[in-house]
Amino acid sequence: MTLQLGDIAPDFEADTTEGPIRFHDWLGSSWAVLFSHPKNYTPVCTTELGYTAKLKPEFDRRNVKAIGLSVDQLVDHEGWSRDIAETQGTALNFPLIADPDFKVANLYGMIHPKASDRFTVRSVFVIDPNKKVRLTLTYPASTGRNFDEILRVIDSLQLTDQYRVATPVNWKQGDDVIIVPAVTGDEARKLFPDGWKEIKPYLRVVPQPKA
C-alpha cells in the first residue's frame, strides 16, 4: 500500500510498550509522528529512540504524540527499552508498537522488498488531528533520521494551516514567510495590514504571523 499526502492514516489495533491501542483512538485530537525501525537492538535505532524521548517537551508543546514501530515481539521491546535508557540517558516516554506479523508495516507500506523483505525501512508519517497523512519520509536502514527537521516541518504545517502563507527554503520558526499566490492584493492588505516586501508579484515576503 502506498499512502499519499491527504490520505486518511489507516486505523489499526496493536500491542505496544504502553499497552494495547487502537491507533485513531490513541491519536485523539493530537498530531502524531509514526516512525518505523528495521529491527530491535540495532545501534542507529537506539540513538533515534533516545533522541525522540528527549524531544518530548517539544512534541508536547506542539500537541504531537510520537509512536515507534518494529517488527519484533513485545518482550524484545521491553529489553531494548532498558538498553535505550542506559545508553542514551533517557527512558522511552512514548509507545513502541510490536508488529511481528507485519500487519501495521504492510498497512503503511513500510516494507520495501528491494531493500529487505523482512525488515521495515526507516519510514516517517506525520498525521494531523483529522487523521490525514501530512508528511511521508523514507530513509534507508543505514541512515539515522533528522528529528529536528521533522519538528521544523510540523511547525510549518501548523503555521500554514492557520494562515495563508507558505514557508521558504530552510525556514525555521520565527523567519519570514511567503504569502501564497492565491491571495489577491486586496485580500493580502486585509490579512497583512502592516504590508509585505514584494520581490516579484508571485513572491511576497512577510514576517511570520504570530500564532
Q: Which of 145, 173, 188 is the last residue of a domain?
A: 145
% of the chain exceeding 90 in pLDDT: 75
Separation between Cα atoms, residue 156 and residue 168, nearest integer Å: 10
Q: Is the pLDDT of residue 166 over 70?
A: yes
128 alpha-carbon distance from chain centroid: 9
Number of domains in the chain: 2
104 is a domain residue = yes
The sheet with strand 122-127 has its strands ordered as: 21-22, 13-16, 96-98, 64-70, 31-37, 122-127, 133-139
- The closest of 103, 36, 108, 106 to 69, measured between CA atoms, is 36
Mean pLDDT confidence for 95-120: 77
Same structural domain for residues 97 and 29? yes
* pLDDT at res. 75: 82
Same structural domain for residues 23 and 88? yes
For the stretch 43-57, pLDDT in tens is 899 999 999 999 999
* pLDDT at res. 173: 94
Same structural domain for residues 193 and 130? no
Domain CATH code at residue 191: 3.30.1020.10
Question: Around 68, how many Cα atoms within 13 Å sit in the side-chain half-sphere?
Answer: 31
Query: With bands split at pLDDT 50, 70 and 90, how would you rate the model's confidence at 25?
Result: very high
Same structural domain for residues 173 and 113? no
Query: With bands split at pLDDT 50, 70 and 90, how would you rate the model's confidence at 18?
Result: very high
Mean pLDDT confidence for 145-164: 96
Same structural domain for residues 17 and 80? yes
* pLDDT at res. 74: 85
8 is a domain residue = no
Indicate the range of 67-71, 125-129, 137-141, 154-158 predicted with least confidence: 137-141
* pLDDT at res. 1: 58
Q: Is the pLDDT of residue 66 over 90?
A: yes
156 is a domain residue = no
- Whole-prediction pTM: 0.92
Same structural domain for residues 182 and 97? no
Same structural domain for residues 131 and 181? no
- Range of the structural domain that residue 199 is part of: 163-206
Mean pLDDT confidence for 48-71: 96
Residues forming the active site: 45
* pLDDT at res. 37: 85
